[in-house]
A and B are shown apart, each in its own frame.
Chain A
Amino acid sequence: MLDDFFTRALVAGIGVALVAGPLGCFIIWRRLAYFGDTLAHSALLGVALAFLFQLNLTISVFLVCALISLLLLGLQRRATISSDALLGLLSHSALAIGLVCLAFMSWVRVDLMGFLFGDILAVSKTDIAIIYAGGLITLGLLAVIWKSLFASTVNYELAEAEGLKPEVANTIFMLLMATVIAISMKIIGVLLITALLIIPAATARRLASGPEQMAVMAAASGCLAVVGGLFGSLEWDTPTGPSIVVVALLLFILSFAPIKHLVRYRSSAQKGAADG
């Protein structure tokens, strides 16, 4: 089954969306969209280093992203400039260094577009294994730190005062972000990873009434976007990343339709009928 490139892309994409949804919720709750972008842009440096040192691409990207996020944590503590300026600095420097490195390695033929926008043809069986292994570890760890992370999202000091360990949870969360960016790069592309994190979560926010529910809905809506986007990409020969993001956006727009009201109206009408 996995011999078909399209099936491989579907399986891989769904794996990515399942992880991106719940993490994306935290990105929205904590207003970290720009942080996601920074990590994603620095992924290109990971790509360059992978070619330079003959490393596995995903692992190399993960290492660079993890390094950048820990660097950010450290710099924020002794910040003389604001964190958004710091993020911009790291983000674009890493992207630029990555592009310069790639240009120097003239012996490497790189499909830059593939890395920037995702490539449906690039997904191998090994990639699927890495995506699912990384994804399972990420979701597992997220489940473990969920209570601390969510409590510290609501109020850091409250979480700390009542004996949770928000600092540990925050550091782990940064590493999980690095993982998700590393595993989703081939499917969605460096430039659009943040969209896959944010848009499904934003869609879920319109419908969910609790944080856990929102995480599940974000994962589900991400999966729908991946499936729709991949079929569109195949049908119209468009790059996969943008296609997925367009479908995610359509779902978001759809979430503005009065679905919730309809459900409420129907259930209250039924209640009314039962009472009468």
Chain B
Amino acid sequence: MSSLLTLQNAGLYRDGKWLVRGVDLSIRKGEIITLIGPNGSGKSTTAKLALGIRRPSEGTAQRQENLRVGYVPQKLSIDWTLPLSVERLMRLTGSLSAASMDAALDRTGVLHLKKAQVQNLSGGEFQRVLMARAIARQPDLLVLDEPVQGVDYSGEIALYELIADIRKELDCGVLLISHDLHIVMAATDSVVCLNGHVCCQGSPSAVAQSSAYQQLFGPRTQSALAVYEHNHDHTHLPDGRVMHADGSITEHCHKHDGHHHAEEARNA
């Protein structure tokens, strides 16, 4: 089956440094890919390369023609000077029937806010509205940049369940960016861990297998969340140098290094 989008060895160079480099990524219909990595590791940049908002400085980014995208950006602040209701925001980039608008808002649990001005919403409510807006477009590809930020814990589980449902329903590809390095959405087909380059890649193991997480989060999370075990053979030191499994230290990563974060090691 052909890919909705493909990044090949894609990298972006800005102001004298590589924000991200050597990313290979492809998303097929009905596939959920989760991007994880520490702050500044190039997750959002990778998403922007994938969406065509940024052109890669090296490598290629290809998208299927007429790809219908639903995008939830990481940051979206609406100026007070803009009179904008939830209803109008839903129709921002395309027309939408009243019925499908209501259905989308209902699915994310914010139908009652339809007439509200967006500036009056809380962070979590606004995030749900953005989510509703993205799915109401019936996209071929959903790109969600930290869609659960500011959403409370049970809401987070519900949104992950919703994303899995939408994927089934529309058979769309999903590129999900998460700030959580260890817990990912269970329905994820593949996890890509970034730190300036692809450090490791794999599929998550179910929460059910980890009794510690089960105790911590309760049985309900089993269906929605999963644990991702990183398998790295090198460590990023705080000064930007890299320590490899054999103890050697170099200025940069080897091209095909797997990966380990110093910070994580400390926190663990």
- Show the binding face of A for B, using Cβ within 8 Å: 28-29, 31, 147, 150-151, 153-155, 157-164, 205, 208-211, 213-214
* Contact assessment for A151 and B92 in the assembled complex, using a CB-CB cutoff below 8 Å: yes
Taking CB atoms, residues of chain A closer than 8 Å to B88 are 210-211
Q: Which of the candidate stretches B79-87, B185-193, B221-229, B256-264 sits at the interface with the other chain?
A: B79-87
Q: Could you list which residues of chain B lie within 8 angstroms of chain A, going by C-beta atoms? A: 48, 51-53, 68-71, 73, 76, 78-79, 81-85, 88-89, 92-94, 117, 137, 143
A158 and B73: CB pair below 8 A? yes
Cβ-closest chain A residue relative to B75: A155
The distance from the CB of B191 to the nearest CB of chain A, in whole angstroms, is 23
Given contacts A210-B85, A214-B83, contact A160 B76 (CB under 8 A): no
For the complex, give the distance between the alpha carbons of A151 and B84 in Å: 11
**Pairs A–B under 8 Å by Cβ, sample size 9:** A28-B81, A31-B81, A154-B76, A154-B82, A154-B84, A161-B69, A205-B81, A211-B84, A211-B88
Find out whether the CB atom of A205 lies under 8 angstroms from the CB atom of B69: no
> Which one, B70, B76, B82, contacts A162 given CB within 8 A?
B70
Q: Which residue from chain A places its CB closest to the CB of B143 in the assembled complex?
A: A161
Closest A residue to B47 by beta carbon equals A161
Closest Cβ of chain A to B147, distance in Å, is 13
Q: What CA separation (Å) do A30 and B3 show in the bound complex? A: 37
Contact of A161 among B52, B84, B85 (CB under 8 A): B52
Query: Which listed residue, B68, B85, B92, touches A158 by the CB 8 Å rule?
Result: B92
Given the known A-B contacts A158-B92, A161-B143, are A213 and B53 also in contact in the complex, defined by CB atoms under 8 Å?
no
Query: When the two chains form their complex, are residues B69 and A209 in contact, meaning their CB atoms are under 8 A apart?
Result: no
Chain B min CB distance to A256 (Å): 16
- Chain A residues contacting B68 (CB-CB under 8 Å) are 163
Q: Which residues of B contact A158 (CB under 8 A)?
A: 71, 73, 76, 92-93
Chain A residues within an 8 Å CB radius of B143: 161
* Chain B residues within an 8 Å CB radius of A160: 51-53
Q: How far is the CA of A153 from the CA of B89 in the complex (A)?
A: 12
Q: Contacts of B94 on A, CB cut-off 8 Å?
A: 162
